């Protein structure tokens, strides 16, 4: 092929990749995919990859468009272009990440997760342990019966976190545990803590303490907060520990451990759903957002104060 013809084709390709027509076509295709996708009850991971590919092509188009018009673009617009390019190419880099899930019982360890893009279990490379499922409730109204032997001494209505007085003792209702429905109470004598008890019959109070407690009634609690205590290890070596809750995942070396659900199996044993994601494009996307924000501020200042 003659050099002139090859040069002409490369020039045509360059102008095509920088053209407004290609940009409009890509945005049109993107809209045709996104509109039905947002209305669908289930989303496809493969469709997500196609969307990332289209966003990558839009980024490529913007890159060539910027290079073609770099001498005519103002600095704020050029900065916004660069920020957008970083953001779009960050989505492409995300191709090298993955999304996986696992259900894990409280107090157990797993070393494999289900990876959705290849539809199979894969080794995680580390041991993931769910140490504890934690739940915090808003104060719960309770009725506590007090017995001395078989004699009924009193019935007290209060909320968890509150106290009542009983013949020189202060009794504080601490927490109501589920699913055991056992109320834990702390006992004080003249302001000094002397022990605790629960309505299931357990206590570490002095042997001469004359009372025992019964949970007579309570209102259904409202959940305030739920979080998971997680541990990562290799064999006997603990690598990292942390917590994961909604909108605040536990992160370690590019892996993000999201808390997605807590449930019980048919035998009443609690387990948690954990989603593990790795997205190497995430830092580039946030960097791109920052650059776009800077360009927007400079553009606004230029519009307000004008150019000198």
The 10s digit of each residue's pLDDT in 27-71 is: 888 888 777 766 665 556 667 677 878 888 888 888 888 888 888
Do 75 and 27 share a structural domain? yes
Predicted confidence at residue 4, as pLDDT, reads 62
Do 14 and 88 share a structural domain? yes
Q: Residue 219 contacts by C-beta under 8 Å, 6 or more apart in sequence?
A: 140, 141, 142
Do 208 and 80 share a structural domain? no
Predicted confidence at residue 201, as pLDDT, reads 85
Cβ atoms of 159 and 173 within 8 Å: the answer is yes
Do 291 and 269 share a structural domain? no
Do 290 and 159 share a structural domain? no
If you write DSSP's letter for every residue of 43-106 in order, what string do you get?
--HHHHHHHHHHHHHHHHHHHHHHHHTTTTS-HHHHHHHHHHHHHHHHHHHGGG-EEEEEEEET
The 10s digit of each residue's pLDDT in 215-236 is: 999 998 898 899 999 999 998 8
Residue 127 structural domain: 99-135+223-278
Percentage of the chain beyond pLDDT 90 is 43
Identify the bridge partners of residue 132 per DSSP, sorted by sequence position.
Answer: 229
Domain boundary among 189, 218, 247: 218
Do 144 and 106 share a structural domain? no
Measure the CA–CA gap between 96 and 107, rounded to whole angstroms: 32
pTM summary value: 0.70
Do 296 and 228 share a structural domain? no
Do 177 and 231 share a structural domain? no
The encoded tokens of residue 191 equal: 């302001």
Predicted confidence at residue 242, as pLDDT, reads 95
Cβ atoms of 85 and 73 within 8 Å: the answer is no
Do 126 and 208 share a structural domain? no
Do 168 and 250 share a structural domain? no
Does residue 7 carry a pLDDT above 80?
no
The 10s digit of each residue's pLDDT in 76-98 is: 999 999 999 999 888 888 878 88
Count of domains for the chain: 3
Domain boundary among 218, 240, 270: 218
Do 164 and 116 share a structural domain? no
Q: What is the CATH number of the domain that holds 231?
A: 2.60.98.40
My answer on whether omega of the bond before 179 falls inside 30° of 0, hence cis, is yes
First to last CA, the chain: 51
Do 182 and 260 share a structural domain? no
Expressed in percent and rounded to 5, the helix, strand and coil fractions of the chain are: 35, 40, 25
């Amino acid at each position: 092929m003659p050099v002139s013809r090859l040069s002409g084709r490369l020039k045509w390709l360059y102008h095509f990749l920088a053209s407004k027509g290609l940009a409009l076509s890509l945005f049109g295709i993107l809209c045709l995919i996104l509109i039905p996708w947002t209305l669908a009850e289930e989303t496809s991971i493969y469709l997500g990859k196609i969307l990332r590919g289209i966003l990558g092509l839009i980024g490529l188009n913007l890159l060539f468009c910027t290079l073609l018009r770099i001498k005519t673009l103002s600095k704020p617009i050029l900065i916004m272009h660069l920020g957008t390019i970083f953001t779009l190419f960050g989505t492409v880099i995300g191709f090298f990440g993955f999304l996986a899930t696992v259900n894990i019982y409280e107090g157990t360890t797993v070393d494999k997760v289900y990876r959705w893009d290849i539809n199979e279990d894969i080794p995680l490379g580390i041991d993931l342990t769910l140490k504890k499922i934690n739940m915090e409730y808003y104060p719960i109204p309770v009725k506590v019966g007090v017995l001395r032997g078989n004699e009924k001494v009193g019935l007290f209505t209060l909320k968890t976190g509150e106290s009542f007085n009983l013949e020189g003792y202060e009794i504080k209702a601490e927490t109501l545990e589920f699913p055991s429905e056992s109320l834990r109470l702390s006992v004080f004598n003249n302001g000094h803590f002397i022990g605790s008890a629960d309505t299931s019959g357990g206590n570490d109070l002095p042997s001469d303490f004359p009372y025992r407690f019964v949970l007579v009634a309570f209102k259904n609690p409202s959940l305030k907060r739920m979080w998971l205590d997680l541990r990562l290890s290799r064999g006997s070596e603990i690598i990292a520990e942390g917590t994961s809750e909604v909108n605040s995942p536990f992160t370690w070396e590019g892996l993000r451990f999201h808390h997605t659900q807590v449930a019980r199996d048919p035998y009443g044993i609690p387990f948690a759903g954990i989603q593990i994601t790795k997205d190497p494009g995430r830092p580039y996307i946030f960097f791109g957002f920052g650059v776009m924000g800077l360009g927007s501020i400079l553009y606004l200042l230029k519009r307000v104060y004008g150019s000198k």
